[in-house]
Chains A and B, each alone.
Chain A
């Protein structure tokens, strides 16, 4: 009989499949009676970027480093805002306008910490986790999405 070992980072999921927010939020709260606040963030595919219509968005990542980088961010959020639970899902592969790309869900005793932690995790994920986006325009042209200065500025607000 094969035995599945505990995944190294059970609270980080990098997957091609879509996810269901209600299911994920319920899982996060399971077994916790001390949770008073759950904050979830979902990032979705826009149909317009840099003024152009986008038909396909493809996400590439660096397997191994991605999980490690996200776990580091997650643990820092736990440390700074005393979270009771957290979970990060990031999809890879081909996606289309309106599709869900990313989910961050955090739970804490009080809302203030959960709001801050979710915001922090997303800001850090944007600038520290090795994902890259490639867009396909309606005419079939492909282009890599450039990193935004505003994302780097968003990260800096959390400097201790």
Chain B
């Protein structure tokens, strides 16, 4: 399984903070395409979002990053701490 997390505005727009998904994807991009099939909101927030930030296992990642069972994949907007 994959542990998928959504933070900040993404959590609110998508209506969830976390979900478990089957580890059926080779890369983050494959996962994103599948999530986008859930509808317009998902498409706009993730797949077509130029500012989408991605982390895999707590490290900064990108759409081409490979993923496997047991990985934690997080999607979030640009950070604004400090």
Contacts and interface: CB of A to CB of B under 8 A. Distances in A.
Q: Is the interface of A mostly helix, strand, loop or mixed?
A: mixed
Nearest to A146: B80
A130 B82 contact: no
Contacts of B79: 126-132, 147
Given A125-B81, A147-B79, A132 B58 contact: no
B78 A144 contact: no
Contacts, number: 70
A116 to B, nearest CB: 17
A28 interface: no
Interface in A111-157: 122, 125-134, 144-147
**6 nearest interchain CB pairs?**
A131-B81, A147-B78, A132-B8, A65-B58, A126-B82, A144-B9
Contact of A65 (B8, B74, B82): B74
B58 A133 contact: no
Interface string B46-82: 0000010001001110000000000000101111111
Chain A interface bracket (under 10, 10 to 19, 20 to 34, 35 or more): 20 to 34
Interface residues of B, number: 17
Interface of A: 43, 59-62, 64-65, 68-69, 90, 101-102, 122, 125-134, 144-147
B7 interface: yes
